A = this chain, B = another copy of it.
Amino acid sequence: MISVLVIGKGNVGFHLYNVFSNIDKIKVTQISSRKLQDIPKADITIIAVSDDAIAEVSSKIKNTFIVHTSGASSINQLKNTTRKGVFYMLQTFSKNKKVDFSDVPYCLEAENQQDYKLLETLAKLIGNKIYAINSEQRKIIHVAAVFVNNFTNHLFKIGNDICNTHDVPFEILMPLIQETATKIKELSPENAQTGPAIRKDQKTIKNHLALLNKEQQKIYTILTESIQNGN
């Protein structure tokens, strides 16, 4: 039996508490990061708060082994005087969307081998893709994740806006969105590229720009140039 304390009730804390609750070998409790009185003891204390709050929250906790869940923060952001680690799940979490934890890559870091093994044991109770990733590597993965997730999702939003403005159903684009994500399982993104930018089809590019608002034009232009320059 592993005892886990989850601190924080945001997107990550919410889903983590839920998945741990369903595992017999885990005894989980959860508290808000805003109420740090009477903190329960635990084998692993998981701080799932915003990056900026990790230092302050961790400085107030005396538990023996404390980890954060942030992709962008070094292990040294933890200011507890006890042992430290990282339990970073490389996935996007929204409260209204169920997460398949068995498909999540777990990026683990700890100061010693025994703590690493403990994190690994915990991760294996809910998933199966376990990676030892140090703080430097995690930073790289995190910025790459921003490109493939946050920015990609924003392009979906722009596609949605364009459709809404002109009364065309966005749903019609769903199979294309799925296929774009699936395609790179077989082809590299470089080999998977299609469309007017890579074909240098200047007439279509000009026609497209005429349909967009100023902000959309800026993004269209910079991404088209980047594709054409092979950047």
Contacts and interface: CB of A to CB of B under 8 A. Distances in A.
Contact of A150 (B51, B143, B197): B197
A125 interface: no
A32 interface: no
A131 B170 CA distance: 13
B150 A194 contact: yes
Contacts of A172: 90, 105, 107, 131, 141
A94 B145 contact: no
A192 B97 contact: yes
Interface stretch (A16-24, A35-43, A115-123, A223-231): A223-231
Interface residues of A, number: 92
How many copies of this chain are found per oligomer?
2
A103 B215 contact: no
A180 B189 CA distance: 16
A204 B149 CA distance: 16
Interface in A191-231: 191-199, 201, 203-204, 207-208, 211-212, 215-216, 218-220, 222-223, 226-227, 229, 231
Interface of A: 11, 50-52, 72, 90-94, 96-97, 103-105, 107, 129, 131, 137, 139-160, 162-163, 166, 168, 170, 172-199, 201, 203-204, 207-208, 211-212, 215-216, 218-220, 222-223, 226-227, 229, 231
Nearest to A185: B174
A21 B138 CA distance: 49
B156 A189 contact: yes
Q: Most B CB atoms within 10 A — which of A203, A208, A212, A229?
A: A208
